[in-house]
Amino acid sequence: MDSKKRSSQEAEGSKERGLVHVWQAGSCSVTPERLPGWTGKTVLQAALGVKHGVLLTEDGEVYSFGTLPWRSEPAELCPSSPILENALVGQYVVTVATGSFHSGAVTESGVVYMWGENSAGQCAVANQQYVPEPNPVSISDSETSPLLAVRILQLACGEEHTLALSISREIWAWGTGCQLGLITTTFPVTKPQKVEHLAGRVVLQVACGAFHSLALVQCLPSQDLKPVPERCNQCSQLLITMTDKEDHVIISDSHCCPLGVTLSENQASTAITPSTETLDSQGEVFENALTQNALPAATELNVGNDQTTSVQTISSPQDDMGTTEIPPARSSPPYPDPQAVNEYVQSDHSVRENSENGEKPMPSQPLVEEAIPNLHSPPTTSTSALNSLVVSCASAVGVRVAATYEAGALSLKKVMNFYSTVPCEPGAQAGSSSMGPEGLKDSREEQVKQESMQGKKSSSLVDIREEESEGGTRRLSLPGLLSQVSPRLLRRAARVKTRTVVLTPTYSGEADALLPSLRTEVWTWGKGKDGQLGHGDVLPRLQPLCVKCLDGKEVIHLEAGGYHSLALTAKSQVYSWGSNTFGQLGHSDFPTTVPRLAKMNSENGVWSVAAGQDYSLFLVDTEDFQPGLYYSGRQDPTEGDNLPENHSGTKTPVLLSCSKLGYISRVTAGKDSCLALVDKNIMGYIASLHELATTERRFYSKLSDIKSHVLRPLLSLENLGTASTVQLLQEVASRFSKLCYLIGQHGTSLSSFLQGIKEARSLVILKHASLFLDSYTEQVSSPVSCSVSAGLFCQGEQLLNQKRLD
């Protein structure tokens, strides 16, 4: 009897899940209502377009509702209730997506079906205005022989394009416009093509706005423990770049590899050729973007033809340094008087003459010998080596140098190679007897410009600006006159830092296979006239470009609205950028062309987002664990407004009255409509799941704060005690970081779990309990006891407080 009652309660509970509620966007006072005409089946996913929507039920069926002008039957053009897509009956659909006027679905076997408007080829059908019924799309990889069908995991649709993420984590695109990310000017593209610029990268998710695209990409494995090459193995770009300014040079090794195919000679010539052809129906000209994307490839081909000083890797002091022909010298040498340099060196007591050398060196040579005893020695990982090298370069070359540096052998090696043939060295005198210092300077300036162009191929304008601004906090500035190099700078260059603890561990085993990765990057491309690409400008991008200011933010989900973008992080924060006409970004910060944090009125974190045409929705944790729904964006005029066309917006996100609906598991946004999937709390099961997920997300936020506000500053201190104390602290920090990372991964997986079927037996913490137990056991069974750990942290906090007072 009890078993029958329990089964009936479970059946009743299943009917109270996935309830569909809709309401009109543009108002903060409307209470969501049940979708008219819906039969009550459990809905797992919903998607909204401009005037239509689709529903995916628990049994894999797809229903369409709204205005459907592509349907063949007149009664189905505007149905009063959702209608079943009969062409998909028998096909178990696992995910759906909608664009502005078209829809798509992916079956369990990885086959894509498209239907709706096809004027731009967004349904992958040629010469057909509408596709009335779901039509299978053939996606095959031409690089395999014989041709193999590509299985798809996820689909995203814009207004005139569609993106598909394959099971091999590659992006396939079709439709019209630069938002495809394809190297072509022939539109529409009705045969799906691979986005080669992200080939070889692990893409986790794709999202489409009206005319722009987003991709969440897993970071490349760390190469810290491997020899660092001079050029990237994938894109052949220089891993160290030098930006020549009017009065200084910026040295940076923050290379971000696009891992896309380099433009070949014929492609580069086509792309560089100025053209006023329109690439889409909007008539927008992408000449600037074509030049920007193709120029680095072209300069890479021409660098070898320029007459510049040869740069070679120095392996030993006996290696000969090759030189090439240098342009004729000019007058007005830029170097200071050698005698003045010698007097400065003697008066400042910063260096001494090397009496052991039998030959008489040049006046500036003693500074080089003192700053770096062996210029030809192999590079080290010490930051002080690079600092010393910058000092020596300033004294030997006599130009204005300011180095924006990051510790690593790469920077040191590259700078050594760049300055390996200065005029004061014997190896360079023989090959440059007829050249003047001005000619050498011009040659180096040209090489710096070429290399800096190559290094910035995958960086945006805002990345360069932020790189320079951030460099102010870690820059060794050597102004124009050599006499301004202080002894304090030389003493700082002599410091050696040996502690290196990775606070963001990289899991390469079972954890990465079962849990979502937090080491991610955001790549964007397409039209950017409203700043929706996040690169600090309004230029279009023909190929994917990394938004580097989001590196390290642990982005776990992306949403694209009409002309704005949202990025949700594992720390329950939301970054937004793009059009902010109606406050849809959730903040009023400027510029809006770069990602900024959305500002919630609540102190609790955000765990789900949705982006509409000109508004955004945020699901926020609350104190009672029932999600709160916030709205930010367009506010339609009220009935009493005399100017109905006058639209306003919200200044900050506003809480909607949805507490009586139940536990919201997913929100979806369209143009004028919003949709929420709600679960009723039957027998307390749903409430328990939300409490578990909320607690785990909050726990990770606290652990992240400890890591960033305590561990990182603590490890950066110089006087931490004895070597054994430092070793214990390193061990504590390493184990703590691993546990923190695992908690973050689990919190992210719980957020995804709440948006699915919600079967308890499919919880990762139950299916793979050993993964969590092993990590917890490792943490508590560490040789470093809890009391020792607490003592180390207390000592670290005291040192931090003392440093602040000083």
Q: Which of 132, 49, 130 is nearest to 96 (CA)?
A: 49
Cβ 697 vs Cβ 751: under 8 Å: yes
Is the previous residue joined to 227 through a cis bond, with omega within 30 degrees of 0?
A: no
Tens digit of each residue's pLDDT (9 = 90 or more) over 660-690:
889 999 999 999 999 999 999 878 999 999 9
The 10s digit of each residue's pLDDT in 302-336 is 433 343 333 333 333 333 433 333 344 334 444 44
Residue 48 pLDDT > 80? yes
Instruction: Give me the phi and psi of 252, to 5 degrees please.
Output: -140, 140
Which amino acid type is present at position 232?
A: C
What is the mean pLDDT of the segment spanning 588-608? 91
- Position 204 scores a pLDDT of 97
Average pLDDT over residues 634-657: 72
- pLDDT value of position 147: 87
Give 392-405 pLDDT, tens digit per residue. 544 444 433 334 33
Selection from 554, 548, 593, 471 nearest residue 255 by Cα:
548
Tell me: pLDDT of 457 over 50.
Answer: no
The 10s digit of each residue's pLDDT in 220-262 is 876 533 444 566 655 666 766 666 665 555 666 555 555 433 3
Sequence letter at residue 163: L
Predicted local confidence at residue 717, as pLDDT: 81
Confidence bin at 542 (pLDDT 50/70/90):
very high
Q: How far apart are CA 723 and CA 700, in angstroms?
A: 31
Tell me the percentage of the chain whose pLDDT exceeds 70: 58
* pTM for this prediction: 0.69
Q: Which residue is it, tokens 């929705």?
A: 617
Residues making up the chain, counted from first to last: 806
User: For 70-79, 90-99, 253-262, which range has the lowest pLDDT when averaged over its residues?
Assistant: 253-262
Across the range 778-794, mean pLDDT stands at: 60
Query: How open is the CA angle 759-765-766, to the nearest 5 degrees?
Result: 60
274-307 tens-digit pLDDT: 333 333 434 343 334 433 444 343 333 343 334 3
Q: What percent of the chain has pLDDT over 90?
A: 44
Q: According to the 3-state scheme, what is the secondary structure of 538-590?
A: CCCEEEEEECHHHCCCCEEEEEECCCEEEEEECCCCEEEEECCCCCCCCCCCC
Radius of gyration of the chain (CA): 30
Average pLDDT, the chain: 73
Mean pLDDT of 199-214: 97
Residue 553: pLDDT band with limits 50, 70, 90: very high
Report how far apart, in Å, the C-alpha atoms of 668 and of each of 336, 388, 717 are: 66, 56, 47
| Distance (Å, whole) CA 459 – CA 535 | 8
* pLDDT tens for each residue of 641-652: 444 455 678 888
Q: What pLDDT does residue 287 have?
A: 37
For the chain, give me the number of helices (H) and strands (E)?
18, 35
What is the mean predicted confidence (pLDDT) over 601-606?
86
Q: Are residues 611 and 565 in contact, defined by beta-carbon separation less than 8 angstroms?
A: yes
Q: What SS3 state is found at 736?
A: helix
- The pLDDT score that the predictor gives to residue 433 is 39
**How high is the pLDDT of residue 603?**
80
- How far is the C-alpha of 770 from the C-alpha of 19, rounded, in Å? 35
Candidates 80, 77, 73, 74; CA nearest to 38 is 80
pLDDT of residue 444 exceeding 50:
no
pLDDT in tens, 710-745: 888 888 887 777 888 888 888 888 888 888 999 999
Q: What is the pLDDT of residue 30?
A: 82
Residues 6 or more apart whose Cβ sits within 8 Å of residue 274: 287, 291
Structure confidence by residue, pLDDT tens digits, 18-38? 999 999 998 888 889 999 999
Least confidently predicted of 199-208, 302-311, 467-476: 302-311
- Condensed to tens digits (0 to 9), the pLDDT of residues 485-500 reads 455 555 555 544 444 5
From residue 459, alpha-carbon distances to 181, 252, 466, 537, 583 in Å are 16, 12, 11, 12, 28
Rounded distance between C-alpha atoms, residue 530 and residue 540, angstroms: 10
Q: What is the pLDDT of residue 145?
A: 80
What's the N-to-C CA distance of the chain in angstroms? 75
Report the pLDDT value the prediction gives residue 500, as an integer from 0 to 100. 52
Q: Is the pLDDT of residue 476 over 70?
A: no
